Structure 1
């Protein structure tokens, strides 16, 4: 796990090296640089696979050069396929180069794992991002050069000036994070998950090489077959991620997903040390008791990390600056501090449960949406349509029914936050109803052109693409790599995901309870008490702390200077947050205000 940085074109060596320093935290084991006339390629290395200096990067193989971030879990099997070659390392990076020599850029289709890399082949520079977007890549094209890197902070020095990208702002408010290719910095874009880019002589071309919906629809129709296939793939996905030369730990909440990872790892003979977050005086958010019971049941070494108001005050600015751009996830700071503790204990790799809820239908609202979808078939709904249009409400249920009666798309990710109508009331400019649908158009087209028709498949697909890929995984990458830790996500193994989406939707839905398939498998590993616990996730007292610290006033302060939003609407949201409503809306406005003050004012 590492930091990638490069420049194709004219550059200042001093400026390039200063930009590279901003990525030191992504890999403190080694820094490699290749400097040529019109090429600067660099690598900050976190040594995981083949920790020997022979595997330092950038790595060269004949005329090819690569800076690779990630893990290829099938690299040993690929070596067997790539017969007749002389190997100089036991690293997965060398395998990527050899695979490219054999198959060209189509080599990405053979890679299993998480990865983002830059590969130089003569005048061509390929940037590649893995299937689910676990690892990031950003880029900037100017008249002088093509600049790319693992984080925005390394590219920002090459902008002539900083301007906010309005498309990023709108998609952020709508879906918690900017949608690809947008970032908040006009002129800097991000590669999409499952996509590669080729930059050659100032021209950029892109290609989507992976689509989860290419899986067959309902090819697994029997419940016992589904359980067997999924359990088998879970074991494989976890086993390959446990295969490492460095110390490895796991995150443990009180819920099912992290418990399943630890339980299967234990069944495979590896009892992982686990880490849990807790909050004194906030029992509603605290999962330590439940996590401790799970750890005891599995016989795991368990460490509790307590987060306080003082921690919030001390580290929030540091965290938000590190994130580069606004991301509306209140769990980012607690997870950042948890990773700090894990890193201090000497661990280089940690397992995390992202993706399970989206694959196995773990959110209660999925089933609410499925129920509301049925209202679209009502024959006499015109009067309901008129009623909803004349009785506006900020509550999300009002918006859901309005969409159904308007015959427009109901589900727009689990991160659907500020609706277009809410944005229209908030902004000092007009935002048309359904304006945000343009950010989903290409994904909806992929779904409609696929063999899949059931709404639940759309829910999983768009959530994995945006809610997980651009929201949760962005958070996980930044907070783990801030402390030079590689985070691995077994549920986001693409073969496992394809298996789950090949199951008949009726089996994934079951009787309407969350995660029916995963819970049935879990009975082989965990107690009923652990399996049936109410989900909390990474809930935390962020709004209580934001209010107590007085930081919430930053929203008004920045808005007074920018005039971006109507002051009375800002007041309304803040007042509701003090009463425990629309808390994540307000957190999103705070994070946005923090970035605007830091970068634009």
Structure 2
């Protein structure tokens, strides 16, 4: 895994991109690639790269050129099937000078153009510069596991793996986008390739972009699959279980390809336990595994972690996410996330990735994506229950169904009636709403927009949040079954834009750690899309097909345990007294007034409730985290950028190539790459 950055002149009369512009861009994202650095410069294009060496350790520095130096690539990610792709390219006459997947992708593009993306099984963000055509090609993997941002400023296009790299350039302005803030406080994230900052864009998952003669063209090469009933799986359930078993095993196999040791996260839930079991039983019986424990017992899953450790006999390491630790590292996490967040859950993952790196590993496999792909979340079952009520409005078993999902709600009579009213207070016709499954969640979250300042509220265009979502839905969305619609929304809005970023790439790469996600192999996603809904959720039994397919790998106590969403404490974290603490500073009147994002009086009333020992609701807890993280975003990126000092990569550690670069030997003792 690596970090990339680049500058393209959109006007030929402009001065060429310079080393002085590129070095700060790659230096500020050096955590993504601490092993090596390289730049390419010509009259139009500047490419920068920092490398985390995992495959092709020797000779894999970037940028890399093709045989005649007409194409140059910088690349962040992995093409897990590069071994299978390379022989075909060799047969077509391509010559290789490294053992890296990077060079395979470069020649694949040379051979097939943008259609090469359909052949790649991986997680990636890449840039390829065609020096002859003067054309830039940018692309991002199907699910958006790896990030890629861009902006146009002063007749230049700048792009990078992280937004902070764009902000090093003096021509790029830094301001929070009011509409984007509204989206975060509704959907937990921004929509449609936007970011929290004005004029900073993210290339959407499954898209590529070409830039030529000053014109930018963006196209999708993949979309989330959906199959009508007549096109679904025609085999039996046991045959589906066997096929899924083989598919996921192969997804794990190719994700173990590395020239460095590979470990695994082991949370104690079904998904990470399953991935760990497949590795330990089939590929590595002395696997290193890693987990988080919590100071707060209600969040801790150590019991199930210990069951799996004993079952698989892994070499295990564990770190404790204390309330104080979460508080101390929250600001660091926001700096890496580059967006407001509504939960503290990403912080323990940041601590976990630090534990892995302290144990000298660069790569881990994780279980993320299974809930979205195989129907594991309660929000899918909620929609099923509400749909049942719509068809049978006189049924008396509705509360019992809901009690199976949320037993804690029914322990508090005052909360029970309000919760039931909010849950069932929909007209039967509402079930045809494309956003039916997520409407309660988004309505609840959007209540926190009440804390916006007048100046933010005045900037909003008043478009209902529902319309924002509908704009991006496929034409046949209304014809899909309830679970398929809910899964699409969860993957398109939440998974790609929030989970894979704030709880995926960012907390891991902050500690120079690459995570690999077998459940998001596009073959697994496509296979799951072919399954009938009742094979995913059988009654209210989530991930039914997945559990049945791997009954021998995971013990019953873990496989059949109650679903426990991954969360971390909030109130206990931020409202313990601490002198001179950044939390008090960021939520104080001076900071709130300077940022201009939130209403001082409303925020003050909310905070006083907590400071007096009161307990907030789930929505209020999200408000606290959202307000604090948005304040930190303003402080770190708008008012005080760079929040952390940028330590420039020394000149003798940068491999420089291109007509406008003096080629030198890097400090690692390797000659510069081919010059055009």
Asked if TM exceeds 0.5, the reply is yes
- Corresponding residue for residue 112 of structure 2: 103
Query: Residue 401 of structure 1: CA displacement?
Result: 3.6
- Corresponding residue for residue 4 of structure 1: 4
- Corresponding residue for residue 597 of structure 1: 635
Q: State whether residues 118 and 126 of structure 1, in contact with CA within 8 Å, keep that contact through their aligned partners in structure 2.
A: yes
- Corresponding residue for residue 588 of structure 1: 626
Q: Which moved more, 1:497-506 or 1:262-271?
A: 262-271
For 2:208, which of 196, 216, 223 is the aligned residue? 196
Q: Secondary structure in 2 aligned to 1:212?
A: coil
For 2:173, which of 161, 164, 171 is the aligned residue? 161
1-structure distance, mates of 2:221, 2:420: 35
For 1:21, which of 15, 21, 27 is the aligned residue? 27
2-structure distance, mates of 1:336, 1:140: 28
- Corresponding residue for residue 275 of structure 1: 290
Higher relative contact order (CA 8 A, sep 6+): 2
2-structure distance, mates of 1:209, 1:414: 32
Q: Secondary structure in 2 aligned to 1:148?
A: strand
- For the structure 1 residues 38 and 268, does the alpha-carbon distance in structure 2 shift closer, same or farther, using more than 3 Å as the test? same
Q: State whether residues 185 and 446 of structure 2, in contact with CA within 8 Å, keep that contact through their aligned partners in structure 1.
A: no
- Flag structure 1 segments of 5+ consecutive residues without an equivalent: 381-392
Query: Residue 364 of structure 1: CA displacement?
Result: 2.0
Query: Residue 184 of structure 1: CA displacement?
Result: 1.6
Report the TM-score, using the length of structure 1 for normalisation. 0.90
2-structure distance, mates of 1:474, 1:414: 24
1-structure distance, mates of 2:421, 2:461: 20
- Flag structure 2 segments of 5+ consecutive residues without an equivalent: 10-14, 395-416, 640-676
Q: Secondary structure in 1 aligned to 2:554?
A: coil
- For the structure 1 residues 18 and 561, does the alpha-carbon distance in structure 2 shift closer, same or farther, using more than 3 Å as the test? closer
For 2:342, which of 306, 328, 338 is the aligned residue? 328
- Corresponding residue for residue 535 of structure 1: 563
For 1:459, which of 457, 482, 486 is the aligned residue? 486
Q: State whether residues 292 and 320 of structure 2, in contact with CA within 8 Å, keep that contact through their aligned partners in structure 1.
A: yes
For 1:485, which of 509, 513, 516 is the aligned residue? 513
Deviations 1:384-442 (A, max 9, x none): xxxxxxxxx99696277448655643123897475445535756437799711233224
- Corresponding residue for residue 57 of structure 1: 62
Q: State whether residues 255 and 516 of structure 2, in contact with CA within 8 Å, keep that contact through their aligned partners in structure 1.
A: yes
Q: State whether residues 247 and 524 of structure 2, in contact with CA within 8 Å, keep that contact through their aligned partners in structure 1.
A: yes
Query: Residue 108 of structure 1: CA displacement?
Result: 0.4
Q: Secondary structure in 1 aligned to 2:20?
A: helix
- For the structure 1 residues 74 and 40, does the alpha-carbon distance in structure 2 shift closer, same or farther, using more than 3 Å as the test? same
2-structure distance, mates of 1:273, 1:36: 45
Larger Rg: 2
Deviations 1:433-483 (A, max 9, x none): 97112332243235528xx61111122222122211111111211111111
Q: State whether residues 394 and 422 of structure 1, in contact with CA within 8 Å, keep that contact through their aligned partners in structure 2.
A: no
Query: Residue 36 of structure 1: CA displacement?
Result: 1.4
2-structure distance, mates of 1:394, 1:146: 51
- For the structure 1 residues 394 and 410, does the alpha-carbon distance in structure 2 shift closer, same or farther, using more than 3 Å as the test? farther
- Corresponding residue for residue 90 of structure 1: 99
- For the structure 1 residues 522 and 180, does the alpha-carbon distance in structure 2 shift closer, same or farther, using more than 3 Å as the test? same
Q: State whether residues 421 and 433 of structure 1, in contact with CA within 8 Å, keep that contact through their aligned partners in structure 2.
A: no
The alignment's C-alpha RMSD in Å is: 2.7
2:156 pairs with 1:132:
no
Q: State whether residues 195 and 202 of structure 2, in contact with CA within 8 Å, keep that contact through their aligned partners in structure 1.
A: yes
- Corresponding residue for residue 473 of structure 2: 444
Q: Secondary structure in 1 aligned to 2:534?
A: helix
2-structure distance, mates of 1:379, 1:295: 47
Q: Secondary structure in 2 aligned to 1:480?
A: helix
- For the structure 1 residues 531 and 410, does the alpha-carbon distance in structure 2 shift closer, same or farther, using more than 3 Å as the test? same
- Corresponding residue for residue 603 of structure 2: 570
Q: State whether residues 424 and 432 of structure 1, in contact with CA within 8 Å, keep that contact through their aligned partners in structure 2.
A: no
Q: Secondary structure in 2 aligned to 1:548?
A: coil
Q: Secondary structure in 2 aligned to 1:353?
A: coil
2:112 pairs with 1:112:
no
Query: Residue 215 of structure 1: CA displacement?
Result: 4.7
1-structure distance, mates of 2:463, 2:486: 18
Q: Which moved more, 1:521-530 or 1:106-115?
A: 521-530
Q: Secondary structure in 1 aligned to 2:303?
A: helix
2-structure distance, mates of 1:257, 1:325: 27
1:349-368 correspondence runs (5 A): 349-368=363-382
- Corresponding residue for residue 404 of structure 2: none
Q: Secondary structure in 1 aligned to 2:436?
A: coil
Q: Secondary structure in 2 aligned to 1:238?
A: helix
Query: Residue 371 of structure 1: CA displacement?
Result: 2.1
- For the structure 1 residues 25 and 32, does the alpha-carbon distance in structure 2 shift closer, same or farther, using more than 3 Å as the test? same
- Corresponding residue for residue 243 of structure 2: 229
1-structure distance, mates of 2:228, 2:141: 21
Query: Residue 225 of structure 1: CA displacement?
Result: 2.2
- Corresponding residue for residue 219 of structure 1: 232
2-structure distance, mates of 1:227, 1:527: 17
2:344 pairs with 1:306:
no
Q: State whether residues 135 and 212 of structure 2, in contact with CA within 8 Å, keep that contact through their aligned partners in structure 1.
A: yes
Q: Secondary structure in 2 aligned to 1:161?
A: coil
- Corresponding residue for residue 464 of structure 2: 435
For 1:469, which of 490, 496, 504 is the aligned residue? 496
Report the TM-score, using the length of structure 2 for normalisation. 0.81
For 2:615, which of 574, 579, 583 is the aligned residue? 579
2-structure distance, mates of 1:160, 1:51: 35
- For the structure 1 residues 547 and 3, does the alpha-carbon distance in structure 2 shift closer, same or farther, using more than 3 Å as the test? same
- Corresponding residue for residue 197 of structure 2: 185
Q: State whether residues 233 and 495 of structure 1, in contact with CA within 8 Å, keep that contact through their aligned partners in structure 2.
A: yes
Count of residues in correspondence between the two structures: 585
Q: State whether residues 343 and 568 of structure 2, in contact with CA within 8 Å, keep that contact through their aligned partners in structure 1.
A: no
